[in-house]
Structure 1
Amino acid sequence: MMRKNQTTALFMLIFGLLAGIFCHHYIDKQWLERAVSYELYSNLDGQLAYKFKGKEILVGELIPYQLSPLSQENLDKLETEPSIEQQWVQDSQGSIRLLKPAFHFGVWSLLPAFITVCLCLLTREPLISLLTGIIVGAFMLGQFDVIDKVLIPNLASEGTAGLLLLYLWLLGGLLGIWTKTGAAQAFADYMAKHFVKGPKSAKLVTWLLGVLFFQGGTMSTVLVGTTVRPLADKAKVSHEEMSYIVDSTASPIAAVLAFNAWPAYVQALIFVPGVAFLATESDRLSFFFSSIPFSFYGIFAVLGTLLLSLNITKFSGKRIQQAHQRAATTGALDAPHARPLSAKELQTVAVPANYRSNMLEFVVPLVCLISIAIGTFIALGSPKVNWAFTAALLLSGGIALIKGMSLNDLIDGFGTGLKGVVLASVILMLAVIIGSISKQIGGGLYLVSLLAEQLPYWLVPLTLQLITMIIAFSTGTSWGTYAIAFPLAMPLAWEISQVQQLANPELYLMICFATVLNGSIYGDQCSPISDTTVLSAMTTGCDLMDHVKSQIVPASLAAAMAAILWAALVYIYV
């Protein structure tokens, strides 16, 4: 069986590379008009401007829409690439928006993600699979010098450098110091003695922390996974269960308890010209929060992890049930074939002989980390995660030195932490790169363009859910999917509500909005190339593909239940 999988994987690899070259030479790019609307105002100098990330940006020269080379009519006539990258236009109704051209290769745009996921499933080697997907995407774009033209520019970008700093140096160093000082183990011992009496209570603590850290995304995943790993290992909870609980209470809870950065980001993407209840930023924020009761996938995902925490595994799927039974009967936290992303160095406590561990060495830096993250979010509008982890790292090191640990031992622990997360950090960076390439070649745009055909109103929400699930799974990002899907889905839903004369168009838009929001979360959560998926496996010590395969069943069940409710609501009330 293994040999057959390897042969199939080799065939997929060769096919992907040849198909990438074929696409570049023989498949024409299909250019699409993409319009972005901002809330404009006149500044003190009387110039049109808008705010972006707190900065005032002036609107450029306005061109009549019909004359713009970036209008869809003119893009359809193109034989080469557009001569400009963006242009401000004004239509006959006076609406002003920014046009940016985008393209896709039709169904071929899904090729890099398809090859990557298939290789992950066949080989269980995410590193090779991600690299192959990146190379295929680069070939499609004509970038045959993959190292100099793709990998190095992406690795040198601000976003990737930030990932490297946070997850390799800061997170790895912090975990290494906690291992060297025995702080994590001391915390686990204390929790086991006073609060955690077995696997059920360990999982309940994990679920509760996931709900409390409702900022969502990578920050929530890292905080919860790092905190609960030592006590869950001591309580003999399988790593598949832990990684699922951590992952499924990250982004899903952020969509339900949305007192975070999500509404501010999403509201900027859902403006629809002529729709009064989406006219201003405050209107769109109110619309977001009014739509929360329809976030059925987020609600079911969080409830599903609560049931699992209570040892009710009936809805968790065969793999999680087997993992639960294995840990309960044999004490084995991983399957026999597993290759955990967390290195063995971080699972072995090597405290110097003359050093006495204390659980406060774990708790105090963690409280500091959370306080800075939440405090900066309240004060500045976004959590400064790097500040938080830097402060926690310095505090942990300082406490250790004050208590008498030698500098050599401290540096040794720091280095051990770096070694322990280097593989996961590389996988994380490659996942970000392939997500960027998938977006660049237009996989998401192609899928959404399929909705251009007339659809019955009752089918639109389910179609939006399915499309966004596929986009997010293919690109590994929910926020990236929002940027692709919302500007297309919301006007589509509004147009259908008007053409088909629906009785309650605002409710209809809320349901369509919820399907895009939740479908993207599902795809991101289940994707093997998502940063939160990788981090959930890394921080809990789980094999990446074991995590992906085990959580896709309960997540899909929650998505199916959500789809049924959305369809029922549209059919009955709209």
Structure 2
Amino acid sequence: MEHMSWVSLIPPIIAVVLAIVTKNVVISLFSGVYIGVLILVGGRPLEATMEVIGNFIFPQVADSYNAAVLVLLFFIGGFVALMEKSGGGAALASSVVKYINTRAKAQISAWFGGIIIFFSDLGTPLIVGPVFEKIFDKAKISREKLAWIIDSTSSPVAVLIPFIGWGVYIMGLIKKEFDLLNINTSEFSTLIQVIPFQFYAILAVSMVPLVAFMKLDFGPMAKAERRVQQTGELYWPESKPLRKPDKLEEYQNSGRAIFIWLPLLVLFITLFGLLFSYGFPFEPVPGNEFRVSLSAAYLFAALSIIILMIINKSKKFGEIIDIYTTGMQKMVYVALTLVLAWSLGKVINDMGTAAFIVEAMKGNVPAFIIPAILFLVGAAMSLASGTSWGTFAIMLPIAIPMAVGLDAHLLVCIGAVLSGGIFGDHCSPISDTTILSSTGAGADHIDHVKTQLPYAILNAAIALVGFIVAGITGSALTLILTIILLVTAVFIISKTQDRKHSERVEL
């Protein structure tokens, strides 16, 4: 395998460092691409600039597969904007409020509401949080707990859904590496098979009902819960919530619950109806047919919500179209990120980065430990940079060739990268979803980070064990082991907390 030795590590390292320093994925990826090409052309800046544009960026946009992915992202962006601005999410959540009469029901309802809004990781906190904050106050549940719940149902849920923007983005990265390695496997079926190995995301989502039903809180979260239950105070004296309760009225307008469930029903019926015609799930669906089916499904779903909003007279037709096109415009940043990620992948491939890493590790590092290493590196990077998508873009072009070259379990390695990226996205204080969760719950941001971090670290520790075991076995049944470990760990930690609290009360 040809490579440029340690020099091939410079582009991804620069991308990682700049992602951490600038918190800007586009600048980080472009810098990695440019520096890599600069090295390839022998240090000539003008030639490097022309090469980056003409031979690295343009070909990515012109590629038929890539172009189809970018168009699909715009369809998704328009649909998500309509769903968020319709007020349907708030209406759907409000419709179940009358059935909530216990602390457990309040927490589970917020958790379920977050899962329902799976189509938008950033919309979940701003839709679910304001609806449930008064319910949580009445039930004497802390704002920190609400922030944790909606944060646990934003990006951890979104990364598990293969047919929304997250899945399309990840499949685009996987497809590019498969083509370079001549792997003739559908990126869609690959992502489906990776789901059981997304240990961190599944543990984060599963932990909410576990804590709610078993009434098990620990760490700073337990202190926050005791504060609310014993004193009725929503905040600590030094807390500064990110918003006042009346700042998100746009999410609670005259929407109807049907604005959510009917378009989603249209989406599912259209998508799976078209996929069934290709033999799904018994036959693999070609990538192009999947993207066309998904684009059609999002188009029909968007048309259905537009019709509902017109009939309900919730907004004027011109306003609705503006919302749809604005949602499409918001995907430009995502599309640019993806194009630059593809370009960086080509640079890394041309420089032989993965080949160098494989050569350096072969015979020195056992294959079974590779997923655990990928998870730790991805977790550290995403925690420091606050970005999961940037982590995916930099890590997958390295992880996939590593898995193939070192005979590690490919699906487990991909799952490890995704889990590592989600860890930081979920709990980093500079992550957009973490900030929006504090905002949506009306909680102090630092309080949210402090109360959530022990839960996230516990899930990450269990996920790490899972990746070591899965690295050995390659079995999806490892997921069951991680859930058993989670239940056991939460129970033991909580009982230890209760015992310490009882001793303090007695003193």
**Interval of TM-score (by shorter of Structure 1 and Structure 2):** 0.5 to 0.7
Q: Which residue of 1 aligns with 2:140?
A: 236
Q: Deviations over 1:451-486 (max 9, x none)?
A: 937331233212211222233233333223222221
Q: TM-score, normalised by structure 2?
A: 0.60
The match for 2:379 among 455, 469, 481 is 469
Q: Write the distance in 2 (CA, Å) between the matches of 1:386 and 1:259.
A: 15
1:534 Cα deviation (Å)? Answer: 1.8
Q: Deviations over 1:16-47 (max 9, x none)?
A: xxx99xxxxxxxx876787xxxxxxxxxxxxx
Q: How do residues 91-170 of structure 1 correspond to structure 2 at under 5 angstroms?
A: none
Q: Which residue of 2 aligns with 1:255?
A: 159
The match for 2:454 among 533, 548, 553 is 553
Q: Write the distance in 2 (CA, Å) between the matches of 1:207 and 1:269.
A: 30
Q: Write the distance in 2 (CA, Å) between the matches of 1:463 and 1:239.
A: 35
1:452 aligns with 2:452: no
Higher strand proportion: 1
The match for 1:266 among 170, 175, 180 is 170
1:554 Cα deviation (Å)? Answer: 0.5
Q: Write the distance in 1 (CA, Å) between the matches of 2:357 and 2:211.
A: 40
Q: How do residues 270-349 of structure 1 correspond to structure 2 at under 5 angstroms?
A: 270=174, 271-273=177-179, 275=181, 278-279=183-184, 283-314=186-217, 317-346=218-247
The match for 1:85 among 47, 52, 59 is 52
1:305/1:509 CA distance change after superposition, 3 Å? same
Q: Which residue of 1 aligns with 2:284?
A: none
| Percentage of pairs with the same residue | 26
Name the aligned partner's letter for residue 267 of structure 1: M
1:366/1:472 CA distance change after superposition, 3 Å? farther
Q: CA RMSD in A?
A: 4.8
Q: Write the distance in 2 (CA, Å) between the matches of 1:312 and 1:301.
A: 16
1:223 Cα deviation (Å)? Answer: 3.1
Partner SS state of residue 208, structure 1: helix
1:493 Cα deviation (Å)? Answer: 1.9
Q: Write the distance in 1 (CA, Å) between the matches of 2:207 and 2:458.
A: 9
Q: Write the distance in 1 (CA, Å) between the matches of 2:467 and 2:441.
A: 34
8 Å contact kept, 1:222–1:535? yes
Q: TM-score, normalised by structure 1?
A: 0.53
**Structure 2: where are the runs of 5+ without partners?**
1-20, 23-30, 62-73, 272-292, 316-329, 476-507
**Structure 1: where are the runs of 5+ without partners?**
1-18, 21-28, 35-69, 90-96, 100-158, 349-360, 400-428, 498-504
1:333 Cα deviation (Å)? Answer: 2.3
1:245 aligns with 2:149: yes
1:514 aligns with 2:415: yes
Partner SS state of residue 217, structure 1: coil
1:269 Cα deviation (Å)? Answer: 0.8
Q: Write the distance in 2 (CA, Å) between the matches of 1:390 and 1:538.
A: 28
Partner SS state of residue 443, structure 2: coil
8 Å contact kept, 1:244–1:547? yes
1:225/1:374 CA distance change after superposition, 3 Å? farther
Q: Which residue of 2 aligns with 1:481?
A: 391
8 Å contact kept, 2:428–2:449? yes
Q: How do residues 203-214 of structure 1 correspond to structure 2 at under 5 angstroms?
A: 203-214=107-118
Between the two structures, name the one with larger relative contact order (CA 8 Å, sep ≥ 6): 2
Name the aligned partner's letter for residue 230 of structure 1: K
Q: Write the distance in 2 (CA, Å) between the matches of 1:392 and 1:338.
A: 42
Higher helix proportion: 2
Partner SS state of residue 517, structure 1: helix
Q: Write the distance in 1 (CA, Å) between the matches of 2:309 and 2:443.
A: 24
Alignment size in residue pairs: 372
1:217 aligns with 2:184: no
Q: Write the distance in 1 (CA, Å) between the matches of 2:142 and 2:344.
A: 36
Q: Write the distance in 2 (CA, Å) between the matches of 1:387 and 1:395.
A: 12
Q: Write the distance in 2 (CA, Å) between the matches of 1:30 and 1:251.
A: 26
Partner SS state of residue 473, structure 1: helix
